[in-house]
Structure 1
Amino acid sequence: MQKYRKYVIIYAFLLCFRFWISQSNSYIHPDEQLQSLQIIAGKFLNWKVELPWEFTSEEPIRSMVPLYLMLLPAFYTAKATCHEFCKPNTIYLLARFTMFLWSLVIDFSISRIVPPKKKWKCLLLYSISYLACSFQTHTISNSMETVFMFLTIMFLSKLAVSSVKSRKSYLLSVAASISTTIGLFTRITFLAFVFVPYIYYGFRWLKNNRQNMLLIFSHIFLMFCSCVLISSLCLYEDYKFYGKFTVTLLNNISYNSRFENLALHGIHSKTQHFFVNVPLLCGPLLPTFSLWNIRNAQAWFWIFPVAVLSIFPHQEARFLLPAISLYVVFAARYIRSRFLLLLFIIYSIVMSVFYGIMHQNGVVPSVVELGSILRDNGLLNQTSNNYYPATIYYWRTYTAPTWMLARPNSSPIDVVQLYNYSKEQTLSLFWEDHHNTQKLEKEFINFVSSKTISFPILVCPIALLQSDEDTKGLQLLKYIPYHVDLDDADELPLADLIRNHGIGIYAAKEVNMDP
């Protein structure tokens, strides 16, 4: 134990850093809210939410079981500890903590996959990466896909060296089948990530047990039965949620096989993954040349899935999270340069702070703040008769997680995301809505006399409203600092965005309000 003491101390420090990141308000991708927490909040808490098209189309493409595994612990914990009202921010932090716990499953898998002599080196290098600190602590399906990939590889690696005569081999077969099936229902790309591991470890397993073909077939049959059982469970849960028999796997394949559908999300070059996304995720570890050598079996573990995903024209960096996580783990076995290691540590810290703390950091707190304002004004009270129609506009931010407003289903308060709106269009719409609201207020005289807030409300980066002309007639209700993104770099220099970081909650000045 004394021999590994320093590794344990470093690992404990990295876990504390990862936990700290997990409790931040950063927002990496809209799917981490809209396709996860938003869905479960609407179903289990009966709050008014806006469901994304993935769940509302005629052919839904997302399965519910992976969401339940990812989020139900947080929601049930919140329900058990909250007597009357479950605070959305509490649920949010519990969900992020659950993802932190899921990330530990990856750590455990790594410790079981790699050779014992390399265990700590691989584990520490992965733990310092921003893939582990930032992406794996967010509620996106790619993170769960990575968890199930590592579990599958761990089970397969142990199965490959076990005797088919042992009881352990049967348990490993079932476990590998279950993790593979759930992984497929999480994302259809999962098959690309486990294809090479199945081939690699499958041949080793067959070679070690070639004298017992009957037992081999019994294992395969057991894996098939386990797959059918878990698939049936997933299909049943999807049937309960969607109200009809739905095979999300087939719907997903059908949707993503059409170019016109992918064009709605953005078309990229076929080389985007290899020449942009892989370098972005790998950072200074990119020149680990042993992992680019196709004669090295480990190289195929990440090259094959990246090549398969490069066939599709819509290519985001997060799609490669499972493959590049493996790349980082394997790179620890080959890296020799201390300078390269130092560069990777610096790169990981910078990226962890950017993606894990500052990226779109103001969106979640702004919704929490708006929820408090609306509740203080009696607009979110389930028993209130003050159903005053109002609109909240979000401009040039990621889609607001409206579930965090905790609106009752009958609430007339709407949240509108202004996509692709110019500054002039946004301000024009805001003031037009404001004048219409003033006319409407005459019908709500009793309520208006007691309210302390003016509608509509505008939420946007303060860097975009810097001139006196822009803010004329506007009152800054709340300033939320450390909100940074690169989406507005086409309008303003990056230095201005960083210097004027943060987003503001604005309303018209007609009504005074204590900040």
Structure 2
Amino acid sequence: MKTKSVSRQTGDNNNNNNGKKVKRPFFIKYIYQPDFIWYTIGVIVRILWTLVYSQQGYIHPDEFFQGPEVVFDDIFQTNFTRTHEFHPAAPLRSVAILYLLYGLPVSLLSWLSTILHWSSIPFHLKLIFPRCTILLLSLCSDILFYRMIKVCHSNFNSKQYGIIMNYYGIAHVTLVFFTRTLSNSFEAFLFLALIYLVNVNISSLLSIITNSSNKTKYNVQSIHINVNTILTSSFIGLICALGIFNRPTFPAFALVPIVYWLANIVPLMNHSFRFQLLFGRIISFIIGTFILTSCLIILFDSCYYNNGFSFIMDLKNRLVICPLNFIVYNIDSKNLDQHGLHPPWLHFIVNATILYGPLHLCVVLWGLFHVSNLRQFGQTIIERILKTFRKRSGTTEKSEQSISPFLLYLYLIPFIPLSTFPHQEARFLVPLIFPLILFIVPVLMTKNLHTFLFRIWLAFNTFISIIYGHLHQGGLLPALKCIHDYPVVSSNVTPIVTNANKKILITYHTYMPPGYLVTSMSKSVYEHKLQTIVIDLKGARREELDLTIERIFHEYSTNNNQVFVLLPNISQTYLIDWKQAKYSFDLIKQFEPHLDLDHGFEELIHFKDQQKQYTIWDRFKLDLYQVTRNLI
């Protein structure tokens, strides 16, 4: 990979009166330029969709239950039900990563609720504060991605840089996934950081070798360069440790950058004894930082899941290593069967198309075109690999030829290990957006196809952004806000402050509702003593809904308790007539649009035999009922 960037780019007129070029930050220098207009629009949309008009779409329950839910539960001591990933016996997820990401924003909310005497933290703040962390990381990733563009394509001008950034800025992965609290989003940021650090580290080492021929120059600069090299080496170890403990699938993405680093460094071992010593120090810093970071995370997790340092007395049985537990859990096919089993081709054919649409198809067509002549491909494949991983030419043209296969490997090779897992979801491929755009967009520019493809790319991502950002399960979060803010009164219609109160929510044929969003919580001494119980029936049969309502009114007193049922509009006939004599179902509000891609078609089939006629719009509504028991 070429690491030297040109000092003058076409279209950059940022010279001062003395003719010296003024370096400015990426956002100040380019965000207002016409060449970056679509990227600028994307940044504005990202910020607005996070802070002002927050996205109501619900991508996957892991967005909440493998992130903010755990931290809110700990800080506010709400005693939520944990998912199986956080079972103390064999936890699969590291809480150290969760506190690293969401500990500060949730603690800040706790502090604000105390000093401002909030009876309950506003719903909107609980939703956006954790998302702000991911938003800030995505903006930092924009800077790294732009630098990677300049590294990979240093002979491009500002307009060409803008084309690549425009593709990235309007991608629905950037607009939606990079503003959500998914572990896959954090994995993507770590993947980009690893690629960038590997490139900087190799560049620093090559600079040392180049300057070593001039002893005077070497003596002046070597200390500074060594410090830079050691720092980047330490960060490589840090990124790898964080990546593995965030998601144990991270090695599938880190494989190519690490192999690339080794293939560029190992052949230089014979350069000099001084370089061999430096190489040994670099390896020690990478491994040392990786081990140190891993040990700190393991220590934090072990203390957390064992409620203190008692695990030290029995390290063999009580030491918590979450990635190891994750691997053991996923080896058992019975465990994966609970989450869904998929064929190995699903990632490459279906999931990648959902995420990247026309650009993924362009990569497939490019690959088919270049491997159609199998004889020629067989003769040149070894040469291409050696050229990419071992040779670093000095001219721009040769660098452009060698960097393209490397970017292609960054995109394609992770499909192989990821596809070996029987359980596959589209979000697992989110980190691949960076090598995909770095590789295919310049190819489209050389073929003069980028203008046509950009229009398709814009239409595709606008559609998918609306689907995942606002429509998919889009009625659930507004409904939770309604329940969160719903007034609580006692049987004598006086506000409840000290009595025991409960809000009981039954959700049916929706995604699992996050407990921290529907529960009133605050650290203030003026906090209302209100307990919220969430019963998620998932896709259960209607008999289970009937039995659940019966059980609630049998177990809980009707005094000071409120019972809510949340279900899709076309499922409301499950509130069958015989219950109307015993219970009253008062419709509080309908929430739309609510696109249920999991149960919608199934529900329509069931309701063909119902007497009530449904319109197509009824399928996109979510109904919230309050249930009361009729007096007999």
TM over 0.5: yes
Contact preservation (8 Å) 2:65, 2:514: yes
Does 2:175 align with 1:133? yes
Structure 1 pair 145–468 and aligned structure 2 pair: CA distance change class (3 A): closer
Contact preservation (8 Å) 2:502, 2:562: no
Please say which structure displays the higher CA radius of gyration: 2
Does 2:236 align with 1:162? no
* Cα distance in 2 for residues equivalent to 1:507 and 1:208: 72
Paired position in structure 2 for 1:214:
277
Does 2:587 align with 1:476? yes
Report 1:266-415 matches (<5 A): 266-285=340-359, 286-288=361-363, 289-290=365-366, 296-335=405-444, 336-337=448-449, 338-373=451-486, 375=488, 384-388=497-501, 391-406=504-519, 413-415=532-534
Of 458-467 and 201-210, deviating more is 201-210
* Cα distance in 1 for residues equivalent to 2:198 and 2:168: 21
Paired position in structure 2 for 1:103:
138
Does 2:537 align with 1:418? yes
C-alpha RMSD of the superposition = 3.0
Contact preservation (8 Å) 1:15, 1:127: yes
The equivalent position to 2:253 in structure 1, one of 190, 193, 196, is 193
Of 461-470 and 264-273, deviating more is 461-470
Contact preservation (8 Å) 2:184, 2:430: yes
Paired position in structure 1 for 2:547:
429
* Cα distance in 1 for residues equivalent to 2:234 and 2:586: 60
Shift, 1:104, TM fit: 1.2
Contact preservation (8 Å) 2:542, 2:574: no
What is the letter of the counterpart of residue 422 of structure 1? R
Task: Give TM-score scaled by structure 1 length.
Answer: 0.88
* Cα distance in 2 for residues equivalent to 1:383 and 1:475: 22
The equivalent position to 1:90 in structure 2, one of 121, 125, 132, is 125
What is the letter of the counterpart of residue 250 of structure 2? F
Paired position in structure 1 for 2:565:
458
Shift, 1:10, TM fit: 3.1
Shift, 1:465, TM fit: 2.1
Does 2:173 align with 1:54? no
Contact preservation (8 Å) 1:73, 1:98: no
* Cα distance in 2 for residues equivalent to 1:313 and 1:480: 36
* Cα distance in 1 for residues equivalent to 2:164 and 2:238: 26
What is the letter of the counterpart of residue 65 of structure 1? A
The equivalent position to 1:29 in structure 2, one of 60, 64, 67, is 60
In structure 2, list runs of 5 or more residues that go unmatched.
1-10, 14-29, 209-221, 312-318, 371-380, 385-404, 523-528, 606-613
What is the letter of the counterpart of residue 72 of structure 1? G
Paired position in structure 1 for 2:297:
234
Paired position in structure 1 for 2:99:
68
Task: Give TM-score scaled by structure 2 length.
Answer: 0.73
Structure 1 pair 64–119 and aligned structure 2 pair: CA distance change class (3 A): farther
Contact preservation (8 Å) 2:35, 2:162: yes
* Cα distance in 1 for residues equivalent to 2:341 and 2:585: 38
Does 2:79 align with 1:16? no
Shift, 1:269, TM fit: 0.9
* Cα distance in 2 for residues equivalent to 1:123 and 1:70: 26
Structure 1 pair 121–177 and aligned structure 2 pair: CA distance change class (3 A): farther
Structure 1 pair 374–413 and aligned structure 2 pair: CA distance change class (3 A): farther
What is the letter of the counterpart of residue 167 of structure 2? L
* Cα distance in 1 for residues equivalent to 2:231 and 2:284: 13
Does 2:265 align with 1:265? no
What is the letter of the counterpart of residue 339 of structure 2? H
Structure 1 pair 14–412 and aligned structure 2 pair: CA distance change class (3 A): closer
Paired position in structure 2 for 1:450:
none
Q: 1:78-128 CA deviation, whole Å, 9 max, x = no partner?
A: 234332333343122111222111111221221122234254333221111
Contact preservation (8 Å) 1:291, 1:331: no
What is the letter of the counterpart of residue 57 of structure 2? S
* Cα distance in 2 for residues equivalent to 1:46 and 1:364: 22
Does 2:84 align with 1:42? no
Classify the secondary structure of the residue corresponding to 2:66: helix
In structure 1, list runs of 5 or more residues that go unmatched.
448-453
Of 460-469 and 213-222, deviating more is 460-469
Contact preservation (8 Å) 1:48, 1:403: no
Contact preservation (8 Å) 1:476, 1:506: yes
The equivalent position to 2:195 in structure 1, one of 138, 153, 175, is 153
Shift, 1:502, TM fit: 3.0
Shift, 1:395, TM fit: 0.6
* Cα distance in 2 for residues equivalent to 1:383 and 1:48: 21
Shift, 1:435, TM fit: 5.2
* Cα distance in 1 for residues equivalent to 2:503 and 2:469: 33
* Cα distance in 2 for residues equivalent to 1:498 and 1:270: 36
* Cα distance in 2 for residues equivalent to 1:59 and 1:312: 20
Shift, 1:20, TM fit: 2.6
What is the letter of the counterpart of residue 105 of structure 1? C
Contact preservation (8 Å) 1:27, 1:359: yes
Contact preservation (8 Å) 2:88, 2:305: no
Structure 1 pair 123–205 and aligned structure 2 pair: CA distance change class (3 A): farther
The equivalent position to 1:178 in structure 2, one of 226, 235, 238, is 238
Shift, 1:241, TM fit: 1.5
Classify the secondary structure of the residue corresponding to 2:413: helix
Classify the secondary structure of the residue corresponding to 1:313: coil
The equivalent position to 2:186 in structure 1, one of 133, 144, 155, is 144
* Cα distance in 2 for residues equivalent to 1:64 and 1:274: 31
What is the letter of the counterpart of residue 366 of structure 1? A
Structure 1 pair 251–493 and aligned structure 2 pair: CA distance change class (3 A): same
Shift, 1:397, TM fit: 0.8
Structure 1 pair 493–332 and aligned structure 2 pair: CA distance change class (3 A): farther
* Cα distance in 1 for residues equivalent to 2:549 and 2:575: 16
Paired position in structure 2 for 1:503:
622
Of 322-331 and 356-365, deviating more is 322-331
Shift, 1:235, TM fit: 1.2
Contact preservation (8 Å) 2:488, 2:495: no
* Cα distance in 1 for residues equivalent to 2:125 and 2:531: 25
What percentage of aligned pairs have identical amino acids? 24
Of 164-173 and 1-10, deviating more is 1-10
Paired position in structure 2 for 1:451:
none
Structure 1 pair 475–385 and aligned structure 2 pair: CA distance change class (3 A): same
Q: 1:36-71 CA deviation, whole Å, 9 max, x = no partner?
A: 111000111222311111111511011122212321
What is the letter of the counterpart of residue 16 of structure 1? I
